[in-house]
Structure 1
Amino acid sequence: MEIVKLSVYGNSNIGVYIFVNNEIALVPPGLPRDDLEMISEILGVNILEFRVAGSPLNGVFVAGNDNGILLPYFVHSSEIDWLKKEVSRYGLEVRTLKSRVTALGNAILLNNKAGIVSPDFSEEDVKEMVEVLRINVVRRSLMNLPIPGSLGVVNDFGGIVHPDLPEDEVGFVKQVLGVTVEKATVNAGVPFIKSGLIANNRGVIVGGITTGPEILRIKRGFGGG
């Protein structure tokens, strides 16, 4: 599995700007053509330029897998209508959650097998997630933080988690999501993995200042070492 570096708007926190699954990448408008081509090639996805309520922070506000995409309640109707049309060819359902939790990308850690979501979500929220994502969803904090999506990135085979995640919680992540994981950091020591890493079943892209030793650990986590 190839791992490459990328910055967005000169910022190495690429995970806050980009959402990916195995079909598409939602990227903010204005990225250089070379960067878009690299994302498409490494991850094997089609690129869609998108904003959530005018914000470029797709990675923060969007969560999903190969079955569906979840958006916060404040997304503009024109944006959701456009996205529904664009992703219909992939069989992806798009739905807005009425939840008071809006940073969905930070609150949901998932793949195509299962999901671990913030306990701040209501039972109704979880019911909708299950309908759209078509996976089992478990509400639980990790490290006593209600942001499991910020603490790791996984695909269907492996992933990376916060370096201070307790071993019992590492085991929980492995069991629920059905993956192997490695503890690591991104961007020269940042422990909140989601901020600096995007991945799917084909490839991994990390923030531009991620170091060589970090990349080696990330590669092991995703089964490449």
Structure 2
Amino acid sequence: MNLQRFSIFSSDNIGVYIFTNNKYTIIPPNLDNQSKSILQENLKTELIETTVADSFLNGVFIAGNNQSILLPRIVREGELRKIKEQAKDITVEIVDVRATALGNIILANDRGALVYPEFSDAEMSAIGKALGVKEIRKGTIAQVMVVGSAGVITSKGGLVHVEASEEELKTLSSLFGVNLEVGTVNFGSAFVRSGMVVNDNGILVGSSTTGPEILRIQRAFSD
């Protein structure tokens, strides 16, 4: 897998601005051509340029997997229409739950999902149905409730908060059906989603991610 250091708008927190799966990468408008070229070369997807709720923080507001893109109830009509028009071959759905930062509170791949522990059972069920996953659970990672911020999962592997216990890794590996590693990005950040954009084709990490961090990330997502 390709791995490259990357920044966006002079920020190493690339994961808060970008959502990706194996087919589509949703990016803010006005990115320079070189950045868009790097994204396409590494992730090998179509690019969808849009805001969500008039915000550039697409990675914060969007959750999903290779089957579904989930958007918050505050998405604008024009934004929803643009994503649906370009992502024609997967489900694009508004999740009508009180929380709106879906990327921070839903961690999913095509097999399973872990969600914010304060979701109601009905909300959890609605999210699981929208994602089309076999299993969905409420929980935390290393006592962190914003589980979408504390992990990155694909169909090949995953990286989670460096303080996750062996027992948590075992449970999460069973849920997602992949091997997991603990680690950090951007010179010590345990909120790994903020500094990473990953699909099955490639990996982008924040520019301040160190060599030892990169080695662990590569191991986490190796076949």
What is the TM-score of this pair, normalised by structure 2? 0.96
Give the partner amino acid of 1:38. Answer: I
> 8 Å contact 1:24–1:47 — kept in the other structure?
yes
> 8 Å contact 1:63–1:70 — kept in the other structure?
yes
1:61 deviates by: 0.5
What's the CA shift string for 1:161-216, capped at 9, x where partnerless? 11111111111111100111111110011110000001111111000111111101
Q: May I ask how many residue pairs the two structures share in their alignment?
A: 222
What is aligned with 2:140? 141
What is aligned with 2:42? 42
What is aligned with 2:161? 162
> 8 Å contact 1:15–1:196 — kept in the other structure?
yes
What is aligned with 1:184? 183
Q: Secondary structure at the match of 1:106?
A: helix
Q: Distance in 2 between matches of 1:177 and 1:131?
A: 16
- Matching of residues 1-225 of structure 1 within 5 Å: 1-88=1-88, 91-135=89-133, 136-223=135-222
Q: Distance in 2 between matches of 1:177 and 1:13?
A: 25
Give the partner amino acid of 2:203. Answer: V
Q: Secondary structure at the match of 1:149?
A: coil
Q: Distance in 2 between matches of 1:187 and 1:134?
A: 32
Unaligned regions of 5+ residues in structure 2, if any? none
Q: Distance in 2 between matches of 1:113 and 1:173?
A: 11
Q: Distance in 1 between matches of 2:145 and 2:182?
A: 19
The percent of aligned pairs where both chains have the same amino acid is 38
What's the CA shift string for 1:26-58, capped at 9, x where partnerless? 001111111111111111101111111110000
Unaligned regions of 5+ residues in structure 1, if any? none
Q: CA RMSD in A?
A: 1.1
> 8 Å contact 1:12–1:207 — kept in the other structure?
yes
1:123 deviates by: 2.2
Give the partner amino acid of 1:53. Answer: A
Q: Secondary structure at the match of 1:210?
A: coil
1:126 deviates by: 2.0
Give the partner amino acid of 2:183. Answer: A
What is the TM-score of this pair, normalised by structure 1? 0.95
Q: Distance in 2 between matches of 1:203 and 1:10?
A: 21
